[in-house]
């Protein structure tokens, strides 16, 4: 995926995690988003002749920060993550919160606080490049579980992320799309865009293909959590999915 001279590479790790390597052609800088582990990420960078200069974390869970220390030991990179979770992550060089700016070369990412999956969860939005890294807050046709927050917070997150331009590429941290889509079809059986997407996802997964990144426009049409009309509806859908 090449986006205005930013190249984003998917590194599949563990059972269903995606680590994202983002490379700026102009400056030669490379950022890793949410390295669950180190070795496959270092190998993916080395295979392209890239040197990792930064890690950006979205939240404290081990499958998002587990590679921090080893990647830093190997590269000397700096690590940025949510101020509210600095104590839990432990390896951060820079802590950020709502509205802070982080950079890769001449490209700018603005930090969005999107609490609910964890209390300090953040997203990194590159508005000029139409890219957002959402960690475990927004998934293709899904949203993160509410481990440390409320349905009201997640409703607000869906409204904020759903308010980004339709062509924004959404980089989620897990391949949960098929399970999310099948559940969503039970909730919105008459949504033709959703039915078509689930059929396409079933075919893609059968071929062993990834279904992430997605886009904000696609999520607005097919994501039952983003489409929930109020907090109550989101809460009911999230509880039903948890129990499914």
Q: Which of 61, 125, 237, 241 binds Zn ion (CB under 5 A)?
A: 61
Residue 136 touches Fe ion, criterion: CB under 5 A: yes
59, 107, 121, 125: the catalytic one is 59
**Which range in 16-24, 89-97, 104-112, 135-143 contacts Zn ion by CB under 5 A?**
135-143
Binding mask 50-69 for Fe ion (x = CB under 5 A): -------------x------
- From Fe ion, Zn ion, none, which one binds at residue 107 (CB under 5 to 8 Å depending on kind)? none
Binding mask 80-119 for Zn ion (x = CB under 5 A): ----------------------------------------
117 as an active site residue: the answer is: yes
Query: Is 34 annotated as ligand-binding?
Result: no
34 as an active site residue: the answer is: no
**Which range in 60-68, 78-86, 105-113, 154-162 contacts Zn ion by CB under 5 A?**
60-68
Pairwise CA distance, residues 120 & 130, whole Å:
23
136 as an active site residue: the answer is: yes
DSSP-assigned beta bridge partners for residue 148:
none
Q: Which of 136, 174, 181, 183 binds Zn ion (CB under 5 A)?
A: 136
Query: Is 125 annotated as ligand-binding?
Result: no
For Fe ion, the binding residues (CB under 5 A) are 63, 136
Known binding residues for Zn(2+) are: 59, 61, 63-64, 117, 136, 174
């Amino acid at each position: 995926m090449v986006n205005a001279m930013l190249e984003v590479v998917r590194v599949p790790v563990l059972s269903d995690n995606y680590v994202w390597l983002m490379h700026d052609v102009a400056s030669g800088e490379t950022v890793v988003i949410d390295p669950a582990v180190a070795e496959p990420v270092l190998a993916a960078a080395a295979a392209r002749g890239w040197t990792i200069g930064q890690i950006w974390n979205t939240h404290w869970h081990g499958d998002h920060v587990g590679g921090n220390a080893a990647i830093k030991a190997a590269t000397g990179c700096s690590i940025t993550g949510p101020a509210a979770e600095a104590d839990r992550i432990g390896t951060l060089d820079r802590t950020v919160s709502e509205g802070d700016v982080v950079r890769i070369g001449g490209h700018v990412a603005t930090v969005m606080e999107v609490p609910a999956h964890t209390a300090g969860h953040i997203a990194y939005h590159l508005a000029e490049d139409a890219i957002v890294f959402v960690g475990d807050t927004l998934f293709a046709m899904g949203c993160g579980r509410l481990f440390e927050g409320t349905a009201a917070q997640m409703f607000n997150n869906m409204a904020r992320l759903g308010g980004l331009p339709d062509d924004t590429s959404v980089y989620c941290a897990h391949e949960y799309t098929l399970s999310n889509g099948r559940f969503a079809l039970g909730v919105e059986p008459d949504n033709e865009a959703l039915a078509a997407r689930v059929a396409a996802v079933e075919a893609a997964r059968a071929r062993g293909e990834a279904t992430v990144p997605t886009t904000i426009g696609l999520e607005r049409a097919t994501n039952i959590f983003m489409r929930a009309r109020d907090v109550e509806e989101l809460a009911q859908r999230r509880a039903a999915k948890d129990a499914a």
